[in-house]
């Protein structure tokens, strides 16, 4: 029987943690009792530098039930880094891991489906929402745009899959070999390969607390996904440059023709406009290229992505 670790990132989740702790321990006890996972299985809550009582609640859950572990990051590193921190911390004990959000919007009974697929030999199982009825219209629309954009830019991500997934030990080992600082797990996990499958589930509303993903974080996340995985924006700029260059040659011929006719002053407007247009484009290009150089810079520094403050086990 395999040992399962549930990894749950928590950022200011005091409103949901007591209930989440209760539901998850019940679920894991049932799975152990039914002989689906080994008795060594655990629930690892990762406190992502919360400013409320999240850590105190995790300590309480840990004291009440031996199944609960707590990992406390030294500061807020964001959802993706908190997930990575949790996975890397438990990877030597866990045969399989399942990552899920603290608000239990993802149906925890889908874990049975995950385990079945695991039994069939999958190393990665993606939880996929079969409806987005519980999301706001705005969130649904922006999500669709996001998947479309990623597809157009050639980034391979699983449609309607958030970070609710099962990974085997070797998949997590493989993930640990991706040394990127700009972390976008949904883009990296499909790159790992191995056998994978999807399990559909119903997504609920948050039963308490607020979303920790306001618009600016969502936009930052999408931007991260695009710039960490795709070089198409750079290619687009190169293509635009080529087109503009061709057009400027045609314009040159046109102005030469006007010059030969002795009407040069008439061309002043178009020249000034083209100077402005090209100047603007150059600045934009420099900005986007700078974005990539910024990423190289961060990778070259090799900063640790997380530092663990405490590990209760
Ligand atoms: N989260 C985190 N660090 C952050 C922001 C969020 O660990 O800086 C966690 C949060 O506690 C939750 C998960 O990431 O468990 C997803 O966040 P949320 O439910 O707010 O996102 P939404 O479901 O609204 O997209
Ligand atoms: Mg949520």
All structural domains of the chain with their residue ranges: 4-137+158-215+303-312, 232-301
- pLDDT greater than 90 at residue 112: yes
Highest mean pLDDT among 60-74, 123-137, 236-250, 259-273: 60-74
Report which protein residue has its CA nearest ligand 1's atom 13: 101
pLDDT in tens, 234-243: 777 777 777 7
For position 13, what pLDDT does the model report? 94
Task: Compute the average pLDDT of residues 269-286.
Answer: 74
Domain 4-137+158-215+303-312: assigned CATH number: 3.90.550.10
Cα 118 to ligand 1 centroid, rounded to whole Å: 26
> Higher pLDDT residue, 309 or 162?
162
> Which ligand number lies closest to the CA of residue 221?
1
pLDDT in tens, 35-66: 999 999 999 999 999 999 999 999 999 999 99
- pLDDT greater than 90 at residue 252: no
Nearest 5°: CA angle at 311, between 310 and 313? 145
For position 172, what pLDDT does the model report? 94
Ligand 1 lining (C-beta closer than 6 Å): 9-11, 13, 48, 76, 78-79, 82, 101-103, 105, 211-213
For position 304, what pLDDT does the model report? 67
Cα 42 to ligand 1 centroid, rounded to whole Å: 21
> Which ligand number lies closest to the CA of residue 142?
1
Report which protein residue has its CA nearest ligand 1's atom 1: 79
> Which ligand number lies closest to the CA of residue 54?
1
Burial class of 86 by CB neighbour count within 10 A (0 to 12, 13 to 18, 19+): buried
Task: Compute the average pLDDT of residues 173-181.
Answer: 83
For position 4, what pLDDT does the model report? 97
State how far the Cα of 42 lies from the Cα of 45, in Å rounded to an integer: 10
């Amino acid at each position: 029987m395999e040992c399962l670790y549930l990894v749950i990132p928590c950022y200011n989740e005091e409103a949901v943690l007591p209930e989440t702790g209760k539901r998850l321990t019940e679920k894991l006890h049932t799975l152990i009792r039914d002989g689906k996972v080994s008795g060594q299985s655990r629930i690892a809550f990762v406190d992502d530098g919360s400013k409320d009582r999240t850590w105190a609640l995790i300590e309480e859950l840990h004291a009440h039930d031996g199944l609960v572990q707590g990992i406390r990051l030294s500061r807020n590193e964001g959802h993706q880094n908190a997930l990575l921190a949790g996975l890397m911390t438990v990877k030597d004990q866990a045969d399989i891991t399942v990552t899920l959000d603290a608000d239990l919007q993802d149906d925890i009974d889908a874990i049975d489906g995950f385990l079945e697929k695991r039994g069939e030999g999958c190393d990665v199982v993606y939880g996929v929402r079969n409806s987005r009825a519980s999301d706001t219209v705005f969130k649904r629309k922006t999500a669709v745009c996001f998947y479309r954009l990623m597809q157009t830019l050639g980034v391979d991500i699983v449609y309607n899959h958030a970070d609710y997934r099962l990974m085997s030990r070797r998949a997590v080992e493989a993930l640990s070999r991706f040394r990127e600082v700009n972390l976008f797990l949904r883009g990296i996990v499909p790159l790992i390969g191995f056998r994978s499958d999807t399990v559909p589930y119903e997504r609920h509303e948050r039963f308490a607390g607020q979303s920790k993903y306001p618009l600016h974080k969502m936009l930052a996340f999408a931007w991260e996904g695009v710039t960490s995985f795709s070089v198409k924006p750079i290619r687009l700029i190169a293509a635009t440059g080529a087109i503009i260059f061709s057009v400027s040659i045609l314009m040159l011929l046109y102005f030469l023709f006007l010059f030969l006719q002795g009407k040069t002053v008439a061309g002043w407007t178009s020249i000034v406009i083209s100077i402005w247009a090209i100047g603007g484009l150059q600045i934009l290009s420099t900005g986007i290229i700078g974005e990539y150089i910024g990423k190289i810079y961060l990778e070259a520094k090799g900063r640790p992505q997380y530092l663990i403050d405490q590990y209760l086990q």
